[in-house]
Amino acid sequence: MTDFVQALLDGLALGSFYSLLALSVALVFGLLHLANFAHGELLMVGGYALYAMEGAPFPFVVLVVVIVVVLMAVLMERLAFRPLRDADPTTLLISAFAVAYLLQSLALFAFGGRPKTVEVASFASGSIDLLGLHLSVLDLVNVGAAAVLLGGLAAFLRRSPIGTQMRAAAEDFRMARLLGVRANRVIAVAFAISGLFAAVTVILLVAQSGTVTPTMGLAPVLIAFVATVVGGMGRLGGSAVGGFLLGIVTVLLQTYLPDGLVPFRDAFLFSAVIAVLLVRPQGLFGSKALVGRV
């Protein structure tokens, strides 16, 4: 029983990280129906910002990384996606891949291909033993950060004028524009919030891994899209739940698979994802109306 509870707690921590990733891509998809595969490069930019700021006071590092990543997200929207807003989804997708490869190439040129070692949030390296359970301080930080950001986003979307406009635009963008919603501002804010989530997730990621590479954003952004698809494209709450489910199932498989099958954990995980999508192509909480758009 203790092993099961421990696995659930570890899965909750991993799921918190995945849910932040999923929400950061779902915000943009909800407005533009854009699968922004360049989002991973926001993590990479934040990672190298951490590398450049190593040794500085942690609160100052967090502030700088948030500013850098948010500005990069807004700049990405302004230069790469706004001119193509009326283009078909395939063109937007190609643009996202082009931005991703461009930023990866620039990072490779500037920093080289070798991993850079970065020490972040050393205060969170300890652990707590409670009632036979082993709780990592960093895992607690993951859960706390997710709770604050998810709660803050929910309050922002429900109670602020721009949040209300974002929800209206996500339901019917053309109608929202006819009713006076300023499209450029709403989309820029969505990218800025996506950048904020990316900044927090990269700090958590680098605190865990301790390294930065030009391709560090690839695996997280793929996980983010898988969680978003499982939860339901276009549903922010569904994306968050998809992230938590993915994290919990990943840890349960790691814990209970026989030793010989543990290396194939991801194969079992994605087989389960495929099974879910065969039954519900729109995801667990998605709308059938979005299936064709995806």
Q: What is the per-residue pLDDT for 290?
A: 53
Domain that holds residue 37: 1-112+137-279
Please indicate, yes or no, if residue 132 is contained in any of the structural domains.
no
CA 130, 133, 139, 145 dihedral sign is negative
Region of 104 on the Ramachandran plot (φ > 0 left; ψ -120 to 50 alpha; else beta): alpha
CA distance 219 to 14: 14
Residue 124 falls inside a structural domain:
no
Residue 173 lies in a domain: yes
What does the pLDDT profile of the chain (294 residues) look like in tens digits?
677 888 888 899 999 999 999 999 988 887 777 888 899 999 999 999 999 988 888 889 999 999 999 999 999 999 988 888 778 878 888 999 999 999 999 999 989 889 999 888 776 677 777 777 778 888 888 899 999 999 999 999 888 888 888 887 777 777 777 777 787 888 899 999 999 999 999 999 998 888 999 999 988 888 988 998 888 877 788 889 999 999 999 999 888 888 888 888 888 888 988 888 888 888 887 666 554 444
* Residue 249: CATH number of its domain: 1.10.3470.10
Is 190 within the bounds of a domain?
yes
Which pLDDT belongs to residue 5? 85
- Is residue 95 in a domain? yes
Is 131 inside any structural domain? no
Asked if residue 275 is part of any domain, the answer here is yes
Domain count for the chain: 1
27 part of a folded domain: yes
Q: What is the DSSP string of the chain?
A: -HHHHHHHHHHHHHHHHHHHHHHHHHHHHHHH----TTHHHHHHHHHHHHHHTTTS-HHHHHHHHHHHHHHHHHHHIIIIIGGGTTS-HHHHHHHHHHHHHHHHHHHHHHH-SSPEE----GGG--EEEETTEEEEHHHHHHHHHHHHHHHHHHHHHHHSHHHHHHHHHHH-HHHHHHTT--HHHHHHHHHHHHHHHHHHHHHHHHHHH-EE-TTTTHHHHHHHHHHHHHH-TT-HHHHHHHHHHHHHHHHHHHHHS-GGGGGGHHHHHHHHHHHHHHH-TT-SS--GGGTTT-
Q: What is the pLDDT of residue 179?
A: 73
